Amino acid sequence: MKQIVLCFTAILLLFTGCNKDCIIKRPKSVKPIDWENYNDVYTVYWNLLKFCSEPSNDEGKDIKIYGWIFQGLIYPDGKPLPVDSKNFVLISNEEDIFYANYCTRGGVGIAIGSVHRDSLNFFDLQSKLDTSDITKKCFIKGKIGFICLHTGKCSQSEPRIYLQDVSDIYFE
C-alpha cells in the first residue's frame, strides 16, 4: 500500500510540477523536412524547435530553406531599414516582411547568419543583400545550428541557419 501511495504521489508531482508555458505545441499539419530539396521556414522551424536540454542529431547538417527576409519597420520616407548581413531573419509569410510583430500574426522566423562562422565574408554578403531585391522569395543553403532562448522558467532551442558561402543565397 505504501508503494502505491508513493507512486501516486510521484506521478501527481510530476504533472503538477510541469510548467504549462514550456510545452512545445507543434501544429499537426507540419510536413517532415525534405533533406534534398528546399523547405519553407514553417516546416524547418517546427521540425527543429526543441527544449535546450534535448540533444540534437541535426546540428551541423546541411539544409535548404526558403522564405522572405524580415525587414520590420520602414523609415518615414518609405524605405525599409537596412538588413544586417551578420544576423537577419527569414520568415514564413510574404505579407509580413514589413510588419513589426509578424510572430503575433502566426508567422515564424529563423535567424540566418552569425559572426562566429569565419568562412563567410560578411562584406560580400552585405553587398549581395544591398544589390538584390530582398522583397522577393529568398533561397538559402546552409548548416543547422541552434540558439537557446530563456523565457521565465522555460528554455527553448530555436533553429538557426548558418550560411557558408555568399553563392548559397539567391532571390526569385
> pLDDT of 2-33, one tens digit each?
333 333 333 333 333 334 457 778 888 899 99
Secondary structure E strands in 94-153: 109-112, 138-151
CATH class of 20-171: mainly beta
Give the burial string for 43-60 (b: 16+ CB within 10 Å, else e): bbbbbbbbeeeeeeebee
Give the burial string for 158-171 (b: 16+ CB within 10 Å, else e): bbbbbbeebebbeb
* Residue 142 near residue 163, CB atoms below 8 Å: yes
Domain spans of the chain? Answer: 20-171
Averaged pLDDT, 156-164:
89
pLDDT at 47: 94
CA distance 82 to 102: 18
Of the two residues 144 and 72, the one the predictor is more confident about is 144
CA distance 14 to 167: 50
Helix and strand tally (H, E) in the chain?
3, 8
CA distance 11 to 31: 33
* Residue 44 near residue 111, CB atoms below 8 Å: no
| pTM summary value | 0.77
CA distance 48 to 59: 10
pLDDT at 138: 95
Q: Which pLDDT band, with edges at 50, 70 and 90, does 122 fall under? A: confident
Q: Which pLDDT band, with edges at 50, 70 and 90, does 78 fall under? A: low
| Opening angle at CA 110, ends 59 and 58, nearest 5 | 15
C-alpha cell, 30 = 507540419
